[in-house]
């Protein structure tokens, strides 16, 4: 009669336990890698949106400068006049037709320093110019006159006739407060307030105009 003697070092099932342990470790590493990749994708997406909205706000200043040049920085439009009407493709609209004729928008103080808190009207509440071009531009701009300054040397040049009659002797300095969002989003709600559910960028740009 044969007898089976059990060994105290029986390792049956150890390979299965080791395999499960390694599988758990690999799963955790994989989940950590996926989380890192998702975070990096979110960061890249947010950076892209930030840059696009920033460029929206920056680029529309060129269109506003063209509008100012068309009136020699002293003319007026009708309120709500389309400076450029592209039909279904969008428009450039002058909301406040007399924005070039405004005095320094520095309430309550008066001076050359421009501060957003001094404004009587703001780009959020009452933009001077709105630009909506399908898949291209989606921004509003408020233009404020900052100062009128003498151009150094222009007086002597005018007196001597070096530059001819009517030479410019001063420059008008404006500040543009620009706010923009993605071209595919609604910048404003039905009540004309800014849409709180879209990404926005705001920048301030200086612009100098020399009358001819």
- Please give the average per-residue pLDDT across 9-19, as a whole number: 67
Give the pLDDT score at 4.
53
Structural tokens at position 195? 């849409």
pLDDT over 80 at 175, yes or no: yes
pLDDT at site 40? 74
Residue 71 pLDDT > 70:
yes
Is residue 183 within 8 A of residue 198, CB to CB? The reply is no
Residue 47's pLDDT band (boundaries 50, 70, 90)?
Answer: confident
**Per-residue pLDDT tens for 192-212?**
999 999 999 999 988 888 877
Q: How many CA atoms lie within 13 A of 126 on its CB side?
A: 11
**How much of the chain is in helix, strand and coil states, percent to nearest 5?**
35, 25, 40
Confidence band, pLDDT 50/70/90 cuts, at residue 160: very low
* Pair 104, 113: CB distance under 8 Å: no
Q: Name the pLDDT band for 96 (thresholds 50, 70, 90).
A: very high
* Mean pLDDT within 184-188: 91
The pTM (predicted TM-score) of the whole model is 0.71
What tokens appear for 165 in the block?
A: 């009659």
User: Hey, where are the domains in the chain?
Assistant: 44-209
| Residue 103 to residue 173: CA distance in whole angstroms | 12
The whole-angstrom separation of Cα 48 and Cα 42 is: 10
Lowest mean pLDDT among 33-47, 58-72, 73-87: 33-47
**Which residue's entry shows tokens 């001094």?**
118
Taking the C-alpha atoms of residue 179 and residue 54, their distance in angstroms, rounded to an integer, is 8
């Amino acid at each position: 009669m044969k007898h089976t003697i059990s060994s105290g070092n029986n390792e049956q099932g150890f390979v299965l336990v080791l395999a499960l342990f390694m599988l758990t470790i690999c799963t955790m590493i994989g989940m950590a890698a996926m989380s890192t990749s998702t975070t990096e994708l979110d960061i890249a997406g947010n950076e892209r949106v930030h840059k696009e909205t920033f460029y929206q706000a920056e680029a529309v200043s060129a269109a506003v400068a063209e509008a100012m040049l068309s009136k020699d920085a002293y003319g007026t439009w009708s309120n709500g006049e389309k400076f450029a009407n592209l039909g279904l493709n969008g428009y450039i609209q002058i909301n406040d037709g007399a924005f070039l004729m405004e005095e320094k928008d520095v309430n309550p103080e008066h001076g050359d320093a421009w501060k957003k808190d001094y404004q009587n009207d703001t780009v959020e509440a009452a933009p001077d110019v709105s630009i909506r071009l399908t898949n291209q531009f989606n921004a509003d701009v408020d233009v404020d006159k900052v100062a009128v300054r003498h151009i150094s040397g222009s007086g002597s040049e005018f007196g001597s006739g070096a530059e001819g009659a009517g030479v410019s002797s001063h420059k008008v300095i404006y500040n543009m407060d620009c706010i923009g969002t993605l071209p595919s989003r609604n910048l404003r709600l039905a009540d004309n307030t800014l849409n709180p559910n879209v990404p926005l960028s705001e920048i301030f740009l200086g612009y100098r105009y020399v009358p001819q």
